[in-house]
Structure 1
Amino acid sequence: MTGTEKAEGKTAVAGRWDDLRPRVISAIVMTAVGAAEIWLGGPSFAVLVVLLTAGMVWELASITAPRQKNRPLLVAGLAAAALGAALVLRSDLAAAFLTVPAFALALTPRRDRRIAAAYAVAIMVAGYGLVEFREEAGTTGILWLVIVVVMSDVAGYFAGRMIGGPKFWPKVSPKKTWSGTVAGWVGAVLVGLGFVLAGMAGWGLLILSPVVAFAGQLGDIAESWIKRRAGVKDSSHLIPGHGGLLDRFDALIGATVLVMALGLFLKELPIG
């Protein structure tokens, strides 16, 4: 191997980790803020979720209609107002309010209007579900959900870069590998086991945790697919090392939507 080849090899290896430092710093800040809000709960947590939800809807509106400058902000405002109304009313009308941003996206010129509308519904349902799950399952439940998503992402990140191997769905998300996907499931099981051994959950959590992690991974893939169709790398540049809010919370959207769906069919979850 020549000196040039060695240098190129070192550069390639370094390139795999060049986003690690900003990712870690951003993760620490987000973890601190998120932990404080989860502990506080109540209106403070709800306000944070409403703002994050509106921000994600703004990113979705922006990447699917990049030539529109002010309209994405209007859609984000509608999302914040609609989610706030749904959280205040807590009635059958809540579901109707959660579809408001979807109609706004579907009825305005943009790329993939149906896909954007469907994903907007998922974002809104996830926002509503996070607040509701925090109230019903308490701090323990919401911590489990967040930690499962984070552990799955972290385990997948390191396993994917260190092990590599076959791609999970190369046409949709070229960076996702089977090694990272499986590592995410294993990490989720370990999180569930930790909660069980701590006496905070039932053994059913060992099954639920990897299922929720997989839903999170699908949420990540769905967002990657939308970005690829829109021809963008990141949903925005709000978070150093992570891109935008959707880039960071896409997995949480998928996981929360699944938990909300399970809540409709199960009497209770093995935690909270």
Structure 2
Amino acid sequence: MNDNSAPLAKPRSDLGIRTASGVVMMLVAAGAIWLGGPIFALFTAAITVGLLFEWTRLVLKLSSGIIGKLVWIFAGLVYIGVATAFLVFLREFAEIYILLGIIGVVIATDTGAYFAGRAFGGPKIAPAISPSKTWSGLCGGMAMAALFLGIEGHFTEGFALWQPLLGAGLAIVAQAGDFFESWMKRRAGVKDSGTLIPGHGGLFDRADGLVAVLCATALLVLFLQITGQW
């Protein structure tokens, strides 16, 4: 019998629930950022605990030795701890547009990569790790992030060439964070880092790029402080 003789049922789309949960996430995060203070601290603490829980869940599956597990867990404490501590620092001790700019760069990267990847397709970056990521998507993400940070810079402190260049660079970091988490999931043999967010998976699935960008930005700020350029 010809396998093509009977039409296959189309998988049910989860676009609606993904959109709804995405809107809820954005509203909760925006509210916490706007209120700041103890509300934002509690929000960040909850996110930190959730990320560490999902990181540990992945580690317990991807590493077999006790020493390996402990090293991975310690690395997660540093990686996620630096990111979330810097998040609080930016909200409480820096201009709020800097924090919004970092979050906006990650969103712009995801958006640009999605639409450019869908429109142009082409060669995959690392199909064994993340089959859907293409070089055209990466370029689209870099272009969108550069455009976003350039526009934000124009309306905040005045446009400078380093702003779009920084946006493009952070887009690469965000994509690297995405690949890193995908690699962890591949090693652990799981599809998502968790099931907390309907249609999206876990917290780490949504924040992998942001965590990487926050860590990279924290290191950049530290470097500029040490060299006296900030």
Q: Which range, TM-score by smaller chain?
A: 0.7 to 0.9
Unaligned runs of 5+ in 2: none
| Counterpart for residue 60 of structure 1 | 55
Report the alpha carbon displacement of residue 238 of structure 1 after superposing the two structures with TM.
0.6
Alpha-carbon distance in structure 2 between the residues aligned to 1:257 and 1:141: 14
**Is the Cα contact below 8 Å between 1:156 and 1:181 reproduced in 2?**
yes
Deviations 1:54-77 (A, max 9, x none): 1011111123326xxxxxxxxxxx
**Bigger mean CA deviation after superposition, 113-122 or 136-145:** 113-122
Alpha-carbon distance in structure 2 between the residues aligned to 1:147 and 1:248: 14
Matched-pair identity in %: 39
Matched residue type, 2:115: F
Report the alpha carbon displacement of residue 201 of structure 1 after superposing the two structures with TM.
5.0
Q: How many residues align?
A: 222
Given the superposition, is the C-alpha separation of residues 219 and 130 from structure 1 closer, same or farther in structure 2, using an over 3 Å criterion? same
The normalised TM-score by structure 1 is 0.73
| Counterpart for residue 207 of structure 2 | 249
**Is the Cα contact below 8 Å between 2:178 and 2:208 reproduced in 1?**
yes
**Is the Cα contact below 8 Å between 1:148 and 1:213 reproduced in 2?**
yes
| Counterpart for residue 87 of structure 2 | 130
Alpha-carbon distance in structure 2 between the residues aligned to 1:43 and 1:209: 30
**Is the Cα contact below 8 Å between 2:122 and 2:136 reproduced in 1?**
yes
Report the alpha carbon displacement of residue 157 of structure 1 after superposing the two structures with TM.
2.1
Aligned counterpart for 2:218 among listed residues 260, 263, 270? 260
Report the alpha carbon displacement of residue 205 of structure 1 after superposing the two structures with TM.
1.4
| Counterpart for residue 213 of structure 1 | 171
Report the alpha carbon displacement of residue 186 of structure 1 after superposing the two structures with TM.
0.8
Given the superposition, is the C-alpha separation of residues 171 and 29 from structure 1 closer, same or farther in structure 2, using an over 3 Å criterion? same
Alpha-carbon distance in structure 2 between the residues aligned to 1:43 and 1:243: 27
Report the alpha carbon displacement of residue 214 of structure 1 after superposing the two structures with TM.
1.3
State the superposition RMSD in angstroms. Answer: 2.8
Report the alpha carbon displacement of residue 31 of structure 1 after superposing the two structures with TM.
0.9
The normalised TM-score by structure 2 is 0.85
Greater RCO structure (CA 8 Å; 6+ sep): 2
Alpha-carbon distance in structure 2 between the residues aligned to 1:202 and 1:41: 28
Aligned counterpart for 1:239 among listed residues 190, 197, 214? 197
1:222 and 2:180 matched: yes
Aligned counterpart for 1:168 among listed residues 125, 130, 135? 125
Report the alpha carbon displacement of residue 172 of structure 1 after superposing the two structures with TM.
2.3
Aligned pairs for 1:8-23 within 5 A? 18-23=13-18
